[in-house]
Amino acid sequence: MTTEANQPLSDPAIPQVTGATLLLVDDEANILSALKRVLRNENYRVLTASGGEAALAMLEQESVDLVMSDSMMPGMDGAELLSRIQRLAPDCIRVLLTGQSDMQATVRAINEGHIYCYIAKPWDDDKLRLTLRQAVAHQLAEREQKRLEALTQHQNQELTELNVTLEQRVEARTQELKQIADMLDTAYDELKRSYVIATRVFSSLITQRMPRHLHSNAQVGDLVQAFADSHKLPDELRRDLLMAAALYNLGKLAWDDRMLTTPSERLFADDRKAYRRYPETGEGLLMSLEHLQGTARLIRHHREHWNGDGYPDRLKGEAIPYGARLLALAVDFIELQRGMILPRKVPRQQALDLIRKLSGRVYEPGLCKDFLTLCVDQAPDLGQAGKTMLSLETRQLEPGMILGQDIHSATGILLLNEGKELSRHLIDKLRKLEEVEGSCYTLMVCKPGSGNSNA
């Protein structure tokens, strides 16, 4: 990302990242003093160096998040310095401070140093501060993404090591994990054909952070799918909605257990601020994935209000994406009943009444009316998209039956997805898993002749 930083920023409300370390490099002491004055009220740790060699020596001793170097310096110029830093510390953000006559050095810095941006002299103080905030925030987002990727790899490694040592564990636990692993292998073949199904599996991992009674993604997804089917929403919007329903809680992964289990209306001060940031955090974690851009946009705006009092962008009316308006209704309807918003669980009918009362203020009136009609007309088989369903125990299953609803293990892991045709092998696996867990599964299957959208 290389831009001329004196151009207007697209977002003037870039949050400041505290605690970052900046290294300012210039051979003129008065320039360094001026830059330090500009940044004195920013919560950065500011280091200075009078030349390229001094800057490289300091980098060997200090952990630096961002280097801003003058272009024209005796000995080692800014382009060469930033190029060497790019090789030595590629994660360090690099910014070039350049005069109008330094275009050749600027081009070198772009090509060799892969700089984040360049700032032209004389600089505008406010724009310089905002540019550095944007750069540090960009670095923080990339580090968080790498941290999550590393965490995922670490967890996958732990699972691999656990599989190696399964025989050393309690026999009952060994059998359960083996059965679940077999089910996951079967599910994996299905995941390769559908982004939506893959997202549901990832959603099942997200819910492991929360107590089972607060797992909401599956029901939110059922509501969204039922509405999309009954109102014949476009395929792209349907896909984005189903993924958003599975991942809307992604921004809460960094919360501690106390915040995860506290109703949102009981959060105050810093906790309240952190809560209001979770849609933005969720969007940020998905923005690097090309096929999830639409999903990320819905997650960002699903807490906006029809009257403009929502967050994070205080969008109003039709400015709120249609899918975000629908997602908000589904999320609030489920989370009210789970006790995730108010300090008590709200009965289903009272949740419907409360949503109806907030129509025109929090929710779009027309969409709210359609949503409430869906909830009333399809109860108690909400989420089955109008298909005629049978509720059967495993002993009643027959090969060839089609699942009408996802099946999860007792620990919340997706075993089989909706639309899967049952074979004798899968039925036997389910019965064996029941014996190991000491549980009894009840499955929703499509009644013959009722149709199946996922088969």
Q: Which CATH architecture has domain 389-446?
A: Alpha-Beta Complex (3.90)
Length of the chain as a residue count: 455
* Residue 8 scores a pLDDT above 50: no
Q: What is the pLDDT of residue 349?
A: 81
Residue-wise pLDDT for 291-330, tens only, equals 889 999 999 999 999 999 999 999 999 999 999 999 999 9
Q: What is the pLDDT of residue 205?
A: 64
Nearest to 406 by CA among 246, 208, 214: 246
pTM of the model: 0.46
Q: Are strands 21-25 and 407-408 parallel, antiparallel or unpaired?
A: unpaired
* Residue 446 scores a pLDDT above 90: no
User: How much is the average pLDDT of 68-92?
Assistant: 89
For the chain, give every residue range classified as CATH 1.10.3210.10: 210-378
Q: What is the pLDDT of residue 119?
A: 86
Report which residue type is found at 59. L
For the chain, give every residue range classified as CATH 3.90.105: 389-446
Higher pLDDT, 338 or 324: 324
Q: What is the pLDDT of residue 286?
A: 86
Name the pLDDT band for 289 (thresholds 50, 70, 90).
confident
* Residue 451 scores a pLDDT above 60: no
User: How much is the average pLDDT of 137-157?
Assistant: 87
* Number of neighbouring beta carbons within 10 Å of residue 116: 25
User: How much is the average pLDDT of 240-260?
Assistant: 89
Q: What is the pLDDT of residue 447?
A: 59
* Residue 145 scores a pLDDT above 50: yes
CA distance 348 to 353: 9
- Lowest-pLDDT choice from 50-59, 70-79, 329-338: 70-79
Averaged pLDDT score across all residues of the chain: 82
* Residue 380 scores a pLDDT above 60: no
Q: Cα angle at 270 between 269 and 271, to 5 degrees?
A: 95
- Lowest-pLDDT choice from 39-48, 400-409, 431-440: 400-409
Contact in structure between 279 and 298 (CB atoms under 8 Å)? no
* Residue 280 scores a pLDDT above 60: yes
Higher pLDDT, 448 or 95: 95
For the chain, give every residue range classified as CATH 3.40.50.2300: 21-140
CATH code reported for the domain at 21-140: 3.40.50.2300
Higher pLDDT, 200 or 347: 347
Residue-wise pLDDT for 223-242, tens only, equals 999 899 999 999 999 999 99
Residue-wise pLDDT for 404-432, tens only, equals 777 777 666 778 887 888 999 999 998 98
Q: What is the pLDDT of residue 109?
A: 60
CATH code reported for the domain at 210-378: 1.10.3210.10
